[in-house]
Amino acid sequence: MKYSAIVLAAGSGKRMHAGLPKQYMDLCGKPLIYYALAAFEESPVDEIVLVVNPGHIDYCQREIVERFGFHKVDRIIEGGSERSESVRNGIEAAQGDYVLIHDGARPFLSQEVIGRMMDAVQKYRAAIAAVPEKNTIKEGDSDHWVTSTLDRSRLWEIQTPQAFDRQLISEAYQRLLSEDPDCSMASLTDDAMVVEEGGRMPDGSHPRIQLIQGDYFNIKITTPEDLVFGKAILKQAKGK
Ligand code: C5P
């Protein structure tokens, strides 16, 4: 069985308020995207598909893949305007039986989490990394009045990798788009939603998604304050 990692780096990074797209920003001497690629390069996955902004393919080939010697990066392809479109392009380019879809903006992906996801996807066909929610989460209305408090013991914060049987998620995308060609890709904020809504098991039933223990260090770098946490995590890892 072959595994493909799909590393997403086609976002605009607007919330970072920096001139340079955030995936190429410096984090302790390396571009942010280096870390997720290095984790998969070191892991047992068979190939890496890197999804980047249109126009960045040559730059990434030279400045990221060749510069750091990422031999498993088989293909660098263009993403779309929404994350789910980038994922779809990645799935079409991947050749593995299983795909591990990962945000390039999550640099602290451990070998333990990759290993757990590889085992889980063989067993369940659809599995997502997650950590138990530590905060109290409330729902509010448009005027900011609290409408309910959710039961924290049942809540999980979803991370990536999200891992799927490639055929299952590829068919799920096709079904969603054929049933509703105008289906808003923007509403699909997470890959599991595509499989929950459009996926079918061989017997026609809806697939179930297994939550797999992620890692609280596996944060996504989104806004400038995340860089502060990111540097602290790297410093702590170096001190080990
Ligand atoms: O926007 P958000 O922080 O949720 O993006 C998560 C990941 O998806 C980032 O690594 C980003 O580069 C990627 N992405 C993408 N294509 C898009 C939007 C986001 O590959 N159109």
How far apart (Å, rounded) are the C-alpha atoms in residues 71 and 93?
17
Pocket flag, ligand 1, residue 89 (CB < 6 Å): no
- More confidently predicted of 77 and 12: 77
- Average predicted confidence (pLDDT) for the chain: 93
Q: What is the pLDDT of residue 181?
A: 72
Q: What is the pLDDT of residue 16?
A: 66
* Lookup: tokens for 150: 């959710």
**DSSP run (H or E) holding 127:** strand 126-132
**Dihedral (CA of 221, 217, 169, 90) sign:** positive
pLDDT (average), residues 54-66: 95
Residue spans of alpha helices (H) in the chain: 32-42, 57-60, 67-68, 83-93, 111-124, 166-179, 191-198, 224-238
- Residue keyed to tokens 């806004």: 223
The amino acid present at 76, given as its one-letter code, is I
Q: What is the pLDDT of residue 62?
A: 96
Question: CA angle, 186 as apex, 45 and 203 as ends, to 5°?
Answer: 60
- More confidently predicted of 223 and 40: 40
- pLDDT exceeds cutoff 80 at 166: yes
Q: What is the pLDDT of residue 187?
A: 74
Instruction: Please give the number of the atom of ligand 1 that sits closest to the Cα of 103.
Output: 10
**DSSP run (H or E) holding 138:** strand 138-140
Q: What is the pLDDT of residues 12-55, one digit of tens each?
A: 867 766 667 888 999 999 999 999 999 999 999 999 999 999 99
Share of the chain above pLDDT 70, in %: 95
Q: What is the pLDDT of residue 17?
A: 64
How far apart (Å, rounded) are the C-alpha atoms in residues 104 and 6?
9
Q: pTM for the whole thing?
A: 0.95
Instruction: Please give the number of the atom of ligand 1 that sits closest to the Cα of 7.
Output: 10
- More confidently predicted of 203 and 130: 130
Pocket flag, ligand 1, residue 210 (CB < 6 Å): no
